[in-house]
């Protein structure tokens, strides 16, 4: 700090004197701290797809349908909604609701007159508990990235539609995935995220044959996330 002093004969001179303890200085302010206030929770709405690569229920599942000419489904589409709340620096707990849908497959009867092709489709709705182990890292004043491992398990109701007639059964499912989300905002933020993982669900039994179907395979979804 510059102190202005005066001496005799009207002459002026400047001398440097140390600032008193505790006084403010004119040095440039420190860079603002990066925001890290998104430590409340997350809401996520996602759409995705799962490749159905494994039919683990043995013959009494999709194999039965393949026997009568109805091809196995290869992909399930997914819509899910999830809420998570932070319990610690790297632990979040939450719940998720989802809906899986496989397109209706039909057998390969040629040009039927009154022999309607057989059709089959699976619809599943589920609720599951979610454990998220990961970090939230602020990479810019208003940008945060969440990254971690997501584990989930739960159950629900499944509907197997056969020749237009639905039949209800129970299901359980579990999944593990890697989750990366970019959020933009300070007090609250919105962003987009990507999730890649593996899920397994078993639904049934259905009908007189006690059929059960496994929906197992890798999945990918893209989600819109709101954080606070």
Partner 1 sequence: MVSVPATRRLLGSLFALGSVLVTGCAICEPVTETLDDFEQRCGDAPCGWTADEGSIESQSTFHETEHGMWVGPGTTATLGVSSRFRNTPTRVAVTARCEAEARLRLTLIGTGPPPRDGGIDLEPPSGTIDVEGAADLFEVYAVSLAWPEGTRPDLVRVQTLGIGGCVIDDVLLSSTNDFWC
List of residues contacting partner 1 (CB under 8 A): 59-60, 63-64, 67-69, 109-115, 162-163, 165, 167, 206-209, 211
For residue 112, the minimal CB distance to partner 1 (Å) is: 5
Buried b (16+ CB within 10 A) or exposed e, 122-158: bbbebebebbbebebebeeeebbbbebebebebbbeb
Of 2 and 111, the one with the shorter C-beta distance to partner 1 is 111
Instruction: Fill in the DSSP letter of residue 114.
Output: S
Of 59 and 127, the one with the shorter C-beta distance to partner 1 is 59
Of 35 and 64, the one with the shorter C-beta distance to partner 1 is 64
Task: Return the H-helix or E-strand segment holding 11.
Answer: none
For residue 108, the minimal CB distance to partner 1 (Å) is: 10
Residue 118's φ and ψ, nearest 5 degrees, are -70, 145
Structure tokens at 125: 């709705």
For residue 117, the minimal CB distance to partner 1 (Å) is: 9
Written in H, E and C, the secondary structure of 32-61 is: CCCCCCCCCEEEEEEEEEEECCECCCCHHH
Of 37 and 60, the one with the shorter C-beta distance to partner 1 is 60
DSSP 147-181: EEEEEEEEEEEEEEEETTEEEEEEEEEEEEEEEEE
For residue 158, the minimal CB distance to partner 1 (Å) is: 14
Of 69 and 71, the one with the shorter C-beta distance to partner 1 is 69
Q: How far, in Å, are 68, 113, 162 from residue 116 at the CA level?
A: 13, 8, 12
How many C-beta atoms lie closer than 10 Å to residue 25's C-beta? Answer: 7
For residue 173, the minimal CB distance to partner 1 (Å) is: 23
Three-state DSSP at 137 gives strand
For residue 68, the minimal CB distance to partner 1 (Å) is: 5
Of 152 and 171, the one with the shorter C-beta distance to partner 1 is 171
């Amino acid at each position: 700090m510059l102190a202005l002093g005066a001496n005799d004969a009207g002459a002026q001179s400047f001398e440097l004197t140390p600032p008193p303890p505790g006084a403010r200085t004119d040095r440039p302010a420190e860079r603002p701290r990066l925001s890290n206030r998104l430590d409340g929770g997350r809401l996520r709405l996602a759409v995705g797809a799962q490749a159905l690569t494994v039919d683990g229920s043995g013959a009494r599942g999709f194999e039965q349908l393949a026997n009568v000419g109805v091809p196995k489904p290869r992909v399930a589409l997914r819509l899910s909604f999830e809420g998570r709340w932070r319990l610690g620096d790297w632990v979040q707990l939450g719940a998720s609701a989802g809906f899986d849908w496989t397109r209706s497959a039909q057998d390969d009867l040629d040009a039927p007159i009154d022999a309607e092709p057989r059709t089959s489709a699976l619809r599943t709705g589920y609720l599951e508990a979610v454990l998220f182990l990961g970090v939230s890292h602020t990479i810019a004043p208003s940008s945060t990235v969440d990254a971690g491992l997501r584990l989930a398990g739960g159950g629900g109701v499944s509907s197997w539609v056969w020749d237009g007639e639905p039949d209800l059964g129970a299901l359980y499912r579990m999944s593990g995935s890697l989750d990366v989300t970019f959020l933009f905002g300070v007090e609250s933020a919105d962003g987009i995220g990507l999730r890649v993982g593996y899920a397994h669900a078993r639904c049934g039994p259905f009908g007189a044959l006690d059929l059960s179907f496994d929906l197992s395979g890798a999945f990918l979804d893209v989600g819109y996330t709101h954080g606070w």
